[in-house]
Chains A and B, each alone.
Chain A
Amino acid sequence: MSTSWPLWEVFVRGKRGLNHVHVGSLHAPDAEMALRNARDVYTRRNEGVSIWVVPATSITASSPDEKDPFFAPAGDKVYRHPTFYAIPEDVPHL
């Protein structure tokens, strides 16, 4: 019987109001143990208020080799950024 535990990716919410951010990975037999281990490995100094663990095999990622075409739809839509719009300097609160 192979006893090497599956790999889990760990995401931590640093404080209320922030997104969960990927911090690393660890091995654990199940989700509950993965959470406990994540607490001990990645939040020994109050680095988080909430943790997600996700089986590494469940993550689908875009491939960097198709990077350009994959992100191309965003590339030519500069109008999605606020700096696209020229506003006179004396108009406040914009």
Chain B
Amino acid sequence: MADDLELRFERTVQSEARIEPRDWMPDGYRKTLIRQIAQHAHSEIIGMQPEGNWISRAPSLRRKAILLAKVQDEAGHGLYLYSATETLGADREDLTTKLIEGRQKYSSIFNYPTLTFADVGVIGWLVDGAAICNQVPLCRTSYGPYARAMIRICKEESFHQRQGYELLMTMMRGTQQQRDMVQDSVNRWWWPALMMFGPPDAESTNTEQSMAWRIKRDTNDELRQKFVNMSMPQAEALGVTFPDPELKWNEERGEYDFGAPDWDEFWQVVKGGGVCNEQRIAHRRKAHEDGAWVREAAAAHAAKNAVREEGAA
């Protein structure tokens, strides 16, 4: 019987059909999905902080409204994804606890600080851009609720990337000081953006099984290459350079060659040694704890109303 179920699962995955919540699935598949989707959800939620940092200091009402809408979208992305984990039997409270206790991870990119307003533009362009590269193939991931969440997210991400690029174009048309600010920001974010695709394929322990289950559709290195190829013409149009002396067009391969990110730095940030790791988690914990009385009051209000309605009926 178990073999039967497993066979049906494999066949469904292989035929590019989707696995749905009440289907039988291997334990490992369920665990891998919960870990990956939760990590993804946490990234959206923590990802609100670096940009949220600039909402009150945005240079115009237009930029402030855009940034608010973008940060609100990221909250929405987190919620779509938490909702997907719950179809796998995960508990929302439990996931939040694991995040603020440091037992589950989020993308390391958000442990870098946003020093200038140009960072808002560069995050939209490069960080959301890298996220799009990662996420577009996930619209075809084998687990239905995850794939559907990714479709919604990808539709909204395109606004994120374009508003960032437009912001940078505006700054590049400004003063020399503004142009320098953009270039400085690009210099700081380029390598962390490349690290968003994860360690090189040779060191990526989860890739093989995830590809077999069709949770993951492309390897880390494939996606990184694609991102470099896409970003180069955009950088040229903008008038900025990337801080990589090895970056150049390879006629033979029809792709750009590029240098390796500093993987020691990557692992150091993953392990908690980034500039903002502590600050990000402390902020999330504070928001959660400060909101406790609201959650309790709303629950008490709902309970009281339920009793009242019963009395009236």
Q: Which residues of A contact B (CB under 8 A)?
A: 1, 3-5, 7, 23-27, 29-30, 33, 40-41, 44-45, 61, 63-65
Query: When the two chains form their complex, are residues B92 and A4 in contact, meaning their CB atoms are under 8 A apart?
Result: yes
Return A34 CB to nearest CB of chain B, in Å: 10
* B256 touches A (CB below 8 Å): no
A65: chain B residues at CB < 8 Å are: 24
B156: chain A residues at CB < 8 Å are: 45
Query: When the two chains form their complex, are residues B92 and A27 in contact, meaning their CB atoms are under 8 A apart?
Result: yes
Query: When the two chains form their complex, are residues A5 and B299 in contact, meaning their CB atoms are under 8 A apart?
Result: yes
Return B190 CB to nearest CB of chain A, in Å: 31
- Which 6 residue pairs across A and B have the least CB separation, nearest first? A29-B302, A30-B302, A29-B298, A24-B83, A25-B83, A3-B295
What is the chain A residue whose CB lies nearest that of B69? A44
Q: Which residues of B contact A (CB under 8 A)?
A: 20, 22-24, 72-73, 76, 79-80, 83-84, 86-87, 91-93, 145, 148-149, 152, 156, 292, 295-296, 298-302, 305-306
A25: chain B residues at CB < 8 Å are: 83, 86-87
B299: chain A residues at CB < 8 Å are: 1, 3, 5, 29
Query: When the two chains form their complex, are residues B22 and A61 in contact, meaning their CB atoms are under 8 A apart?
Result: yes
**Cα A29 to Cα B22 with chains together (Å):** 26
Query: When the two chains form their complex, are residues A3 and B292 in contact, meaning their CB atoms are under 8 A apart?
Result: yes
B20: chain A residues at CB < 8 Å are: 64
Say yes or no: A3-B296 contact (C-beta < 8 A), given A29-B301, A29-B302. yes
Return B71 CB to nearest CB of chain A, in Å: 12
Query: When the two chains form their complex, are residues A7 and B86 in contact, meaning their CB atoms are under 8 A apart?
Result: yes
**Cα A26 to Cα B79 with chains together (Å):** 8
Return B97 CB to nearest CB of chain A, in Å: 11
Q: List 13 A-B contacts (CB under 8 A).
A: A1-B300, A3-B299, A23-B152, A24-B79, A24-B84, A25-B83, A29-B295, A30-B301, A30-B302, A33-B298, A44-B72, A64-B20, A64-B23
Return B73 CB to nearest CB of chain A, in Å: 7
Query: When the two chains form their complex, are residues A63 and B22 in contact, meaning their CB atoms are under 8 A apart?
Result: yes
What is the chain B residue whose CB lies nearest that of A37? B79
Return A63 CB to nearest CB of chain B, in Å: 6
A64: chain B residues at CB < 8 Å are: 20, 22-24
Query: When the two chains form their complex, are residues A41 and B79 in contact, meaning their CB atoms are under 8 A apart?
Result: yes
Query: When the two chains form their complex, are residues B76 and A41 in contact, meaning their CB atoms are under 8 A apart?
Result: yes
Query: When the two chains form their complex, are residues A24 and B80 in contact, meaning their CB atoms are under 8 A apart?
Result: yes
**Cα A61 to Cα B20 with chains together (Å):** 12
B302: chain A residues at CB < 8 Å are: 29-30, 33
Q: A4-B92, A7-B86, A30-B298 are in contact. List 17 more A-B contacts (CB 8 A).
A: A3-B295, A5-B295, A5-B298, A5-B299, A24-B148, A24-B149, A25-B86, A26-B83, A29-B295, A29-B298, A29-B301, A29-B302, A30-B301, A33-B302, A40-B76, A64-B22, A65-B24
